[in-house]
Structure 1
Amino acid sequence: MVATMHGGFSWILIAILAAALALAAARDWQSRIIPNWLNGSIALLAIPFWWSIGLSLWPDIVLQLAVGATLLGLFSLAFAAGLMGGGDVKMLAALALWLPPLEMLQLLLIMSAAGGVLTLVMMISHRLAKSANPLEIPYGIAIAFAGFWVISERILNQFA
C-alpha cells in the first residue's frame, strides 16, 4: 500500500477480505451469483482499512475511489455486452478500493489468466457432458484467486 500498516487491525481487515473473497467464490460456484450485500461489505470495509494503514484523503483515498469508479464504468460495458456478470463487476470495483493502482493492475492480469483457464476447463467439461444448457462461467472464482494472489504477495514479500 501507499502507507505502512499500523498494528494488527489492518491484518484483521485483510483476513476478513480474504474470507469475503472465499465466500464470493463459493457463492458464485454454487449459484452463479455474488450477493450485493457481500460486494457492499467488501467496499465498506475498505474505509476502516484506509484508516488502519494511514491513507490521506488527498490524494490517496481520492485515487482509490477514482480507480474503483473507473473500473466500475469499464467493466459495466462488459456486463452490458453480456461478457461478465454484475456481481463480478461490483466485486472488482470493491477490490479496487483496497488495492493501490499497480496492485489492482496485477490483480486484473492474474484474473484474466485464471479466468481463461477456468473458462477453458468449463468449456471442455460442458462439451464432454453434452449439456444443452448455456455455459455460465463463475468468474468470481478467478477474481477471488487473483485477490488471494495479490494479498499473499503483501504477506510473503515483507521486503518490498
Structure 2
Amino acid sequence: MGNLMEPMLSQYLLLVLLGVAAVTDLRTYTIPNWLTGPAVLAGITLHTVTTQFTGLVFSLEGAALGFGLFVILYVCGWMGAGDVKLYAAVGSFLGPAQTISAAIGIAIVGGLLALVVLALHQGWRKIGVWLWSMVLTRSVQRLTPGQGEDPKVPYAVAIGLGTIGSYCWHL
C-alpha cells in the first residue's frame, strides 16, 4: 500500500511547494531558503523511503539536473538563485526524465510570462510593434527598457505552471 500512496503524496507535496513558491515570489520577488531546502530533502526522503537506493538515485539525479539546467541561467544573470534552488527541489520530486520535460514547459511559460510582464511595464502596443517587426525582418532587435527599474518576472509562477503543464501532458 505504501507504493500506491507515494505518487499521490509526492504530487500533493509538489503542488504545495509550487503554490507557496509562486505566491511568495509574486509578493516579494524572492523564493526563501526555508522553502527550497526542506523541499529538496522531502523529495529525496520520500523517494528513498519508498524505493530505497533506486529512489535515492532517481531523486538525486532529478535535483542535480534541475539545479544544473537553471544555474546556467543564474550565472548569465537571467534568473535568481531562489529559482535555481526551487527547480532543484522540483527535480528531486520529478526525477531526471520528467525534470527535462518540465524544463521545456517552463521555458515556454516563462517566455510568455516575460512578454506579459514587459508589456505591462512598457505597454502592449510597443510590445506588439516589436514582435511584428521581428516577424517582418526575421531578426531580433533588443527592446530597450523604459525609464526606471527593469521589470521583474516572478519565475516561480512559470516553474509551477510549466511543471504542472508538463505533468498533465504526460498522463
TM-score w.r.t. length of structure 2: 0.75
State which of 14, 18, 29 in structure 2 corresponds to 1:17: 14
CA contact (8 A) 1:13 1:45 kept: no
Question: Cα offset for 1:64?
Answer: 2.9
Match of 1:121 in 2: 116
Structure number with larger C-alpha Rg: 2
Give deviations 1:1-20, integer Å, cap 9, x for gaps: xxx97233542342122112
Gaps of 5+ in 1: none
Higher helix share: 2
Gaps of 5+ in 2: 125-145
1:104 counterpart letter in structure 2: T
Give deviations 1:80-117, integer Å, cap 9, x for gaps: 22111101000111111111322111100000000010
State which of 14, 35, 39 in structure 2 corresponds to 1:38: 35
Paired-residue identity, %: 27
Question: Cα offset for 1:63?
Answer: 4.2
Aligned partners of 1:35, 1:152: CA distance in 2, in Å?
27
CA contact (8 A) 1:122 1:137 kept: yes
Compute the RMSD of aligned alpha carbons: 2.5
Give deviations 1:97-154, integer Å, cap 9, x for gaps: 1113221111000000000100001111000296622111111100011222244457
Aligned partners of 1:67, 1:101: CA distance in 2, in Å?
4
Match of 2:130 in 1: none
TM-score w.r.t. length of structure 1: 0.80
Q: How many residues align?
A: 150
3-state SS of 1:100 partner: helix
Aligned partners of 1:103, 1:70: CA distance in 2, in Å?
10
State which of 91, 95, 102 in structure 1 corresponds to 2:97: 102
